[in-house]
Amino acid sequence: MIAKKGHIALIVPNYARNYFLSFKEIGIYEYLGNNKWQTYDVKSRRVKWTLK
């Protein structure tokens, strides 16, 4: 883990076991500093994915 403010963590359950993966299963967390995290709810459809 990178303990730096703004770090984004993607938690992918059963990544090595499942051939098909739904984005609804992925956990998205942003490190805010001081051991605090912001959780983004993918199921709410309020998270926009942008890969660069």
Between these two residues, 52 and 9, which has the higher pLDDT value? 9
Phi-psi map region of 6: left, alpha, beta (phi>0 left; psi -120 to 50 alpha): left
pLDDT of residue 44: 65
- Helix and strand totals (H; E) in the chain: 0, 3
Mean pLDDT confidence for 15-19: 67
pLDDT of residue 17: 72
Buried b (16+ CB within 10 A) or exposed e, 13-38: eeeeeeeeeeeeebebeebeeeeeee
pLDDT in tens, 20-34: 666 777 888 999 999
Position 42 in a domain:
no
Position 41 in a domain:
no
For residue 5, the one-letter residue type is K
Query: What phi and psi, each to the nearest 5 degrees, are found at residue 42?
Result: -65, -35
pLDDT of residue 1: 66
The structural domain count of the chain equals 1
Position 9 in a domain:
yes
Domain hosting 18: range is 1-25
Mean pLDDT confidence for 9-17: 78
Position 35 in a domain:
no
Position 6 in a domain:
yes
Position 18 in a domain:
yes
Position 15 in a domain:
yes
pTM: 0.65
